[in-house]
Structure 1
């Protein structure tokens, strides 16, 4: 039997990149997977990929994670389909212009709304039921940019610092409740977004599967084990 058979996971930002990789990996371990993103066509492609590997327990829900009503509908549909949400993977994120001197307030707001508020909306949506059941797992995908700031990443890094702070604080809030929290900070991953960043040709980027494996590692530990922080970097 697969490790996550009978468990239901919501993965935000699941239409491509890291989110797609996480969703496919969780499904391969037997989980019921709820795919959330704005791009329905790409969600359909990921859903078909999961079904082709033999897991029909997948649901796609068009979701703007920065819209609280959308997030509430996402969780409602997940519960209607599968009964309860056991795992939340907060992966959706915006990577836009980071410098404060750029003056791109609209881009800052998009990153804050998605990376911070979207994370909080999703947590708020699943947490009461998890606490009531005394079980559940929240995975927040941060970034190594939440540890290190460059002159081009000020605002983006600030949002990922915030995700790390939310993870650390939430873990303390939920101590002894049975609900676990894991923060995962990827380094450079070979995705469409990662392709925009200069990178040495002789240094291999991470694969989305590397991050997905970290998620599976965290959520398959015994109930008494809480893996709080994982940082995954290229060699």
Structure 2
């Protein structure tokens, strides 16, 4: 498969949270389209499997790299290494996220803290690492995976929605502050097939989520949205895409 980029140039793309779900789908699709994808996550065994399944069939490549986005120095080091090896970094897909839902009165404070660390601080660490690179090389693209939860709140999801609204707001602020050579896109998925629900430890929230997730779209639906945003001409900035099941109202 050839690249869908309008000038047929391969991009160097760093994807966080790429070991499963949306991140893995984004990495696979972009590699299939001819891009060089640096797929990062904590679960390196999953990343190795992802790279192995796409190497022989893809026009591009997937490079597995271990990364915990809550470690600011580690994020900066990976970005620097990518630029040193490839000469540039064109895109950050800030996708890493957690969703251990629970009611506030369950007081699962450790889970709240972990969501804030990954969903908010992890995004900020990525932005802090790539902005100097994009400024020096005269361009780049930040794509953030937010959520439909950035636009609406439901019971058991208060903290999660708070982190995703923060991700939306931070990304929108980045768009407004950035030079036009830096494009910024927020992808807000609805219910998507993924492992996110498996992190829910609260029984009540887990039961609600089983009903809520009865209608879900494949992760590649979100990957296609990312591909669309990346494939636009340099003077077109896709600000936000909301993608969700037709049955989710």
Are residue 213 (structure 1) and residue 217 (structure 2) matched?
no
SS at match of 1:234: coil
| TM-score normalised over the length of structure 1 | 0.93
When the two chains are superposed, the root-mean-square deviation of aligned CA atoms in Å is 1.7
Correspondences of 1:121-200 after superposition (within 5 Å): 121-176=125-180, 178-194=181-197, 197-199=209-211
Aligned length: 233
Correspondences of 1:96-135 after superposition (within 5 Å): 96-135=100-139
CA distance in 1, matches of 2:95, 2:60: 22
* Deviations 1:94-136 (CA, angstroms, capped at 9, x unpaired): 1113432221111111000000000010111011111222211
Equivalent position of 1:45 in the other structure: 49
Equivalent position of 2:241 in the other structure: 230
SS at match of 1:184: strand
Structure 1: state its 5+ residue gaps: none
User: How far has the Cα of 1:194 moved from its partner?
Assistant: 4.6
| TM-score normalised over the length of structure 2 | 0.88
Question: For 1:70, which of 71, 74, 77 is the aligned residue?
Answer: 74
Query: Is the contact made by 2:3 and 2:10 (CA closer than 8 Å) also made in structure 1?
Result: no
| Runs of 4+ residues deviating >4 angstroms | none
Question: For 2:91, which of 87, 92, 110 is the aligned residue?
Answer: 87
SS at match of 1:199: helix
CA distance in 2, matches of 1:73, 1:43: 19
